[in-house]
Amino acid sequence: MEIPKVNNVDESKAEEVKAAITLGFTADPLIRWIFPDPQKYLRSFAVWMDEFSKPSFENNGVFADENYYGGSLWHPPGVHLEPEILAPTFADIPESRVEHVMQFFDELGKYHPEEDHWYLAFIALDPSKQGQGLGSLILKEALKLVDEQGKIAYLESSNPKNMTLYERHGFETMGRVEFGDSPPAHPMIRYPK
């Protein structure tokens, strides 16, 4: 099997990258707990992709394989999104969960490092391409940039199945966050190599 190339991509490939990530999160335990209804998930996650991808594209923080089966969105040091930008999606969260979702993200926010860091907002693959090493290639390429700058990398694993991937790339678990009936998320940090 030929090893696919992974590149830092620009906004001309935004739709391809966002489509792959959206497919990859269709069965994500945390995201689907937030948006269990399929139509509401697709509608709201499109807003999330638009908002989270802007600072990534503006700061050369988007990595994808050459076929756009997967991608990652990284926010550079100093970029922090305000929760209000996602307000249009709050109506799609089941009413009984809204408070727990807000508490969940408040608690998760406490783990963000104080030091300058690159934040991996999203990484995902088309489910038909998962388990073939592509996610590892995408992560490895992005971490080269992070290491060249001597910065910390930070992420929040919303799927326990992905934690071993992150650990193989040097991430360490900082804690576990869950509220009410939510699935857990694990904030993870990686120091420069």
Q: What is the pLDDT of residues 88-128, one digit of tens each?
A: 899 999 999 999 999 999 999 999 999 999 999 999 999 99
Residue 1: what pLDDT? 57
- What confidence category does residue 180 fall into, taking pLDDT thresholds of 50, 70 and 90? confident
The answer to whether 141 and 183 are in contact (CB under 8 A) is no
How many H helices and E strands in the chain? 6, 7
The answer to whether 64 and 19 are in contact (CB under 8 A) is no
The helix or strand, by DSSP H or E, that contains position 87, with its residue range, turns out to be none
Alpha-carbon separation of residue 160 from 73, 82, 126, 167 (angstroms): 19, 26, 18, 11
DSSP-based helix, strand, coil % in the chain, nearest 5: 50, 20, 35
Strands 152-157 and 117-125: parallel
From CA 35, how far away is CA 17, in angstroms rounded? 21
- What confidence category does residue 80 fall into, taking pLDDT thresholds of 50, 70 and 90? confident
What distance lies between CA 37 and its chain's CA centroid?
A: 20
Residue 64: what pLDDT? 98
Give the 3-state secondary structure of residue 147. helix
- What confidence category does residue 84 fall into, taking pLDDT thresholds of 50, 70 and 90? confident
Mean pLDDT of the chain: 95
Tokens matching residue 149: 């700058």
**Residue 91 one-letter amino acid:** A
Mean pLDDT of the region 45-57 = 96
The answer to whether 76 and 84 are in contact (CB under 8 A) is no
Tokens matching residue 121: 């907002």
Domains of the chain: 6-190 (3.40.630.30)
- The string of pLDDT tens digits covering residues 128-139 is 999 999 999 999
